[in-house]
Amino acid sequence: MVEFITIKQKEMKFGTNNFVEVANKKAVTSDGEKPFISITRGYYTEDKQKKFTKAISLPLEETLINEVIDAIGKVI
């Protein structure tokens, strides 16, 4: 069984009831822990609950994260 633990997160709201969440997480199993970065898009329901719709996970490797940040800067 996998347990996901959120270490740190940042939520950015946009539009009427949408958000993007960037989080530092780790997956914990009996074999050990694996850290990763999660970028998730979602919205708030009428009763203010978060509903997640799309996500991407990236390994917590500094070189890769920096390349992704650089690529985003170049395409906007």
pTM (predicted TM-score): 0.85
pLDDT tens figures, 31-74: 999 999 999 999 999 999 999 999 999 999 999 999 999 999 99
| pLDDT of res. 71 | 97
Taking the C-alpha atoms of 41, 45, 47 and 50 in order, what is their torsion angle to the nearest 10 degrees?
-20
Q: What is the four-CA torsion angle of 57, 59, 61, 65, rounded to 10 degrees? A: -20
In angstroms, the CA 34 to CA 24 distance is 11
Domains and CATH numbers, the chain: 3-75 (3.10.450)
